[in-house]
Amino acid sequence: MFAPVIRKLGRAEYAETLLAMRIQNRERATDTPDEIWLLEHPPVFTLGLAGKSAHVLDAGEISVIKVERGGQVTYHGPGQLIAYLLLDVRRLGIGVKELVRRIEQSLIDLLAQYKIDSVRKPGMPGVYVNVDGVDAKIAAIGLRVARHATYHGLSLNVNMDLEPFSRINPCGYEGLAVTQMHDLGVTDKIDAIGEKLIAQLQRNLNVVSS
């Protein structure tokens, strides 16, 4: 039964949170419970393990932090829901690709609750919605697996300043459009959306792998 410990951290500095995730992973034992951390970050760009600095076009006053997750560059800022997933993949009994698929499905199901149609795109982890005929990214996924467990996780754009995305090639794709729930008519607060996200993650990760 997937029943993670949920930690609501509010607005937390990226570097401090990253260190806490690394420590949790390093000290993990076979009986360490799964955890999901819900939070927001102050403005920061993060560049994945294989990320190319050329995808950061104009960071300006926003810090760029190199991290060990998968993926290229993305932006985190206030009004974006972050869920860090500290999960034992052996205990879940599924592979990393299947885990990513289920995370994407959880986001798709969450958005469907708000009557927002969204899709996954092959080879481009995350979730996308069609806005005026253009596929725009609304959620990003980037995981690190070490010691048979994940850390890092997902970000969902709720009600934030999207301008910093114009300073990068989001996820390494030049001209990739980005959107958020508020611009699609959602007025719920980020805490309420976080509760619904947790419910969807628990539902999808409790499905027995065939």
Catalytic residue (choose from 47, 81, 156, 171)? 171
Question: Residue 83's beta-bridge partner residues?
Answer: 38, 154
CB 47 within 8 A of CB 156: no
Contact 198, 6 (CB under 8 A): yes
Q: Own/partner pairs for 129-134, CB < 8 Å, 24+ apart?
A: 129/179, 129/184, 131/177, 131/179, 131/183, 131/184, 134/177
CA distance 82 to 166: 20
Quick check: is 8 catalytic?
no
- 117: Cβ contacts below 8 Å, ≥ 6 apart: 111, 129, 130
d(C-alpha 75, C-alpha 114), whole Å: 24
As a 3-state breakdown, the chain gives helix, strand, coil percent values, each rounded to 5, of: 30, 35, 35
Residue of 4, 23, 208, 155 lying closest to 88 (CA atoms): 4
Would you name the residues annotated as active-site residues? 171
